[in-house]
A and B are shown apart, each in its own frame.
Chain A
Amino acid sequence: MLEIIQEYWLLLLIGEYPHGKLGGLAMTLIISFVSLIVTFPCAVLIALARTGKPGIIQSIAYGFVHNVRAIPLLMLIFWAYFAVPMIIGFPIDAAFTLIVAIVIYQTAYLGEIIAAGITGLPKGQREAAAALGLGYIPTMFRIILPQAIFNVIPGIVNQLTTIIKESSLGSIIAVSELSYVMLQVNSNEVTKPLQIFGILAAVYFVLCFALSQATNWLERRISSRRTGQVVVEAVA
């Protein structure tokens, strides 16, 4: 196990960079963060549409969320893999199609999380804003969303964990992220699959476990900010 780490640690971290393509853990993190950053504004729009007045926009948002939730991510990735180059008219990097698929998929889920944050706020917030004479846009962007998004920060961090895990599907369409690099290491070293996939699982575990602990911590912090009480942390 140690020899594998000694021999391949650089490949695992950054792929073949600087002699070739960037890959490995760095690629996984880049894909995940870019996906989350692009997803966020899309998800806010979906959440606004979902919580707005009933009408055609709300129906479209509902249809989008409902349909995306019914499709496996792998099918979306296959679609993006073929459809995106066709739509824009020239071939692009597989990493880009992976990001497109994850953004579409996560917009549905993150949108629901932010929508839950908006509906979770007391009605008085909107009424007070209306009483001050604020219109819809300032009410949403200056009163409702800052509070709603603050309250769902744990949910957003949790989605980042999900995105990191989902980015492993990139190995199926040959995106040179962490899993793909390790699959290649596995085909070099045919005799040690248990160690190689053990290392791979351990890397994901450390990353995602740390993030989910951070989620728990944020949840406690935010609920104590919100209720004005100090939640006593267990000392152990």
Chain B
Amino acid sequence: MGYQFDFGKVLQGEYLELILEGLQATMVVFVFSWIIGLVLAVVLTVIRAVEFKPTQFLVAAFVEYHRNVPMLIQLFVWYFGFAVVLPDAVNDYLNDLGAEIGYAIVALALNKAAYMSEDFRSGLRSIHPAQMEAARSIGLTYLGAMCWVILPQAWRLALPALLGQTLILFKGTSLAAAIGVAELSYQARYIEEQSFRIFEAYGIATAIYMLISFAIMWLSSILSKRYELRVK
């Protein structure tokens, strides 16, 4: 159809810089929300394991909110909604720091914390209760039994699901573009608008996304095999 491909135009100078900046922002959002999400997920799992109805209900409500509302809307709630609650001075300060990326990290981290805590919980639930009883009966304390018997098996059972969530989180970082975070897909759209090089701009962004996704999938399959629970 007479379209001349010219990847060189997008892969040099100003545009290349924009793509690299975008990639950096994508990775910052991904890594920070992954770490925060994982830590929060462990905390949530522990809270839910304690037999106390009110806190269990709160954790369950937190999980259900994040599972049943679109991730994009969760981003909107933080970005548009939370800013109003804050005093103006704090808002100005945050905006100077680049509030969008912070809100994106918070929203994605909370979302992943909800999903990952469910994965941990189902890992824990699939360990037969008799294992705990057996561990206690040979003289281990509750904590000892958890550390030496239950958790070493539970995290292996949860691992494939956690790795799946990691891939979903990486792809989810693209939603941050909707609240103005200058990450990869945002930059791709900007370059496309500036240069009218639709296929090159989106092609390169898509290729970068695919490359990193494949790396995550490859690592996942290695880790899942390496830490597979063989005795059941």
Contact = CB atoms under 8 A, between A and B. Distances in A.
Interface string A188-224: 0001111011101100110011001000000000000
Contact of A78 (B68, B185, B210): B185
Contacts of B65: 201, 205
A179 interface: yes
A205 B178 CA distance: 21
Interface string A147-184: 00000000000000100111011011000000100010
A236 interface: no
Nearest to A73: B171
A70 B70 contact: no
- Interface of chain A, main secondary structure: helix
Interface stretch (B31-39, B75-83, B91-99, B138-146): B75-83
Contact of B68 (A82, A168, A193, A208): A208
B155 interface: no
Given A197-B77, A204-B68, A209-B64, A70 B202 contact: no
Contacts, number: 108
B206 A75 contact: yes
Interface residues of A, number: 38
A24 B40 CA distance: 34
A205 B70 CA distance: 9
A186 B202 contact: no
Contact of B210 (A67, A161, A191): A67
Contacts of A79: 202, 206
A78 B76 contact: no
A165 B71 contact: yes
B209 A72 contact: yes
Nearest to B205: A75
A205 B73 CA distance: 11
B81 A197 contact: yes
A86 B167 CA distance: 31
Contacts of B76: 179, 183, 197, 200
Nearest to A210: B68
A197 B73 contact: yes
B227 interface: no
B149 interface: no
A26 interface: no
A56 interface: no
B69 A71 contact: no
B136 interface: no
Contacts of A172: 72, 177-178
A70 B213 contact: yes
A193 B64 contact: no
Residue of B64, B81, B82 ringed by the most chain A CB atoms within 10 A = B81
B154 to A, nearest CB: 23
B70 A82 contact: no
Residue of A71, A75, A196, A204 ringed by the most chain B CB atoms within 10 A = A75
Nearest to B71: A165
A74 interface: yes
Interface in A75-110: 75, 78-79, 82, 86
A192 B85 CA distance: 10
30 contacts: A69-B167, A70-B210, A70-B213, A70-B217, A73-B171, A74-B185, A75-B185, A79-B206, A172-B72, A179-B72, A179-B73, A179-B76, A183-B76, A186-B80, A191-B84, A192-B84, A194-B80, A194-B85, A197-B73, A200-B73, A201-B69, A201-B73, A201-B74, A204-B69, A204-B70, A205-B64, A208-B67, A208-B68, A208-B69, A212-B68
Given A70-B217, A73-B174, A169-B72, 9 more contacts: A70-B209, A70-B213, A72-B185, A78-B185, A179-B72, A183-B76, A197-B80, A205-B68, A212-B67
